[in-house]
Amino acid sequence: MILIGHVDSHRSPVFFSSLGWLVAYAVFLKVVFVVFSAQVILYLLGTVTQWTWIWPTTFVSAACAVMMTIMCFHADHTPFSHGANDNATGAGLVLALGKQLCDAPLEHTRVWLVCSGCEEVQHYGAIDFFRRHKGDLLDPLAVVFESMGCDGPAG
C-alpha cells in the first residue's frame, strides 16, 4: 500500500496577496476570456465580410495579451512562499498514519509513506517515486490524500 500526500510551495505574485487583488485577478481573467473570444468571432466575421474596421478593434485583445504576459512574467519571478502551503495537511496525515502503522503494523502488507512535491505540475513527484520503485512494488494500491484541510465539501 502506498500512502501519498504532497507538499508544494508556490510563488507569491501580488495578485494572490490580498482578497482585493484576488478579486481583481478573477475579474481580469473573465474579461480576457470574453475579449479573446470576441477576437476570434471578429476575425471570422472579417474574413467573410472583408470589413476592415474589425482589424483595429483587436488592439484591445493585444493590450490584454500584453497584460497577461506581464502578469505571467511577474508570477514566474516572485519568491516561493514560506513553508508548505499547498496540502500540507495531506502530508501530515501520511506521517500521522505512518506513526500509527509503526505502533500497529498491518499483517502481510508493506506500506510506503510518500510525501511528494510537484503535484500541481503533472504529479512529477509521484511519477518519479513510481518510476524509481516500480520493481519493488507488488500489486500496489495507492491512497492519495488531497484537499484534506478544507471546511466542508470541496468542489
pLDDT in tens, 31-55: 999 999 999 999 999 999 998 888 8
| Predicted local confidence at residue 152, as pLDDT | 59
The vertex-83 CA angle with 102 and 69, nearest 5°, equals 135
**Residues 154, 135: Cα–Cα separation, whole Å:** 35
25 pLDDT higher than 80: yes
Q: What is the pLDDT of residues 88-122, one digit of tens each?
A: 778 888 999 999 999 999 999 999 999 887 666 67
List residues bridging with 2 in a β-sheet.
Answer: 112, 142
Average pLDDT, the chain: 86
For residue 149, what pLDDT band results from cuts at 50, 70 and 90? low
End-to-end CA distance of the chain: 27
Which pLDDT score is estimated for 147?
66
Spatial CB neighbours of 6, under 8 Å, sequence gap ≥ 6: 86, 87, 90, 91, 115, 116, 117, 118, 119, 125, 126, 144, 146
So what's the pLDDT on residue 86? 62
Q: What is the mean pLDDT of residues 66-85?
A: 84
pLDDT score, position 123: 82
